[in-house]
Amino acid sequence: MKGKEGRPKKQERISIVEEKSVQEEVRDSLLEQVILMGIECYTELITDEITQICGERYKHMTCREVTRWSKTETSVVLGGKKISLSHPRIRNIKDNSEKEISTISSLKDQEILSKRQAEQMILGVSTRKCKRSLEADIPGIKTKSHSKSSVSRNFIAITQASSLSGLPG
């Protein structure tokens, strides 16, 4: 229904606003679920690699060279920003040194983050608005590398690397 001036009546305008807010809630909820599933997937990949290296948890192995050793938090790239992920550490029993987990090394790849942020910049997103253009933050999950200076540093690094690779050697 239209009012005297051809605009929707007040009641219709309110329902349109309510529809938009419901749609935004559903979208945010879906994005949150996708990010949580990504974190769960990362955790499962790390756990599988640790099981391959150390063997089954709580199972006695006489020839074990590597063992689980407490937990630590590491920043990994997910959804255009770095998130803090808690995972087990592993140590070499013989020389008591920490062993690197290759899955975590690949998930920490700065190039993935830099490319995503450079893509945002090329599409016209300013460094100020880069955080808003990414997926929503989830309460309880620490994020970083979306500040203006971080985005700017990553953009400069990726553009310099791409311009240097184009030079004749």
Backbone angles phi, psi at 166, to 5 degrees: -85, -10
Domain extent at residue 70: 10-56+64-165
Assess if residue 2 is contained within a domain: no
Assess if residue 3 is contained within a domain: no
pLDDT, residue 49, reads: 93
- Percent residues over pLDDT 70 in the chain: 78
Assess if residue 4 is contained within a domain: no
Question: Tens digits of per-residue pLDDT, 74-86?
Answer: 888 887 788 888 8
Assess if residue 98 is contained within a domain: yes
Question: Tens digits of per-residue pLDDT, 87-127?
Answer: 899 998 888 888 889 998 888 888 878 888 788 888 787 77
Rg, C-alpha atoms of the chain: 23
Assess if residue 1 is contained within a domain: no
Tell me the DSSP string of 118-160: HHHHHTT--TTTHHHHSPPP-TT--EES-SHHHHHHHHHHHHH
Pairing of strands 143-144, 98-99: unpaired
Assess if residue 145 is contained within a domain: yes
Assess if residue 100 is contained within a domain: yes
Assess if residue 51 is contained within a domain: yes
Residue type, 98: E
Domains in the chain, number: 1
Instruction: Give the model's confidence band at 45: pLDDT under 50 very low, under 70 low, under 90 confident, else very high.
Output: very high
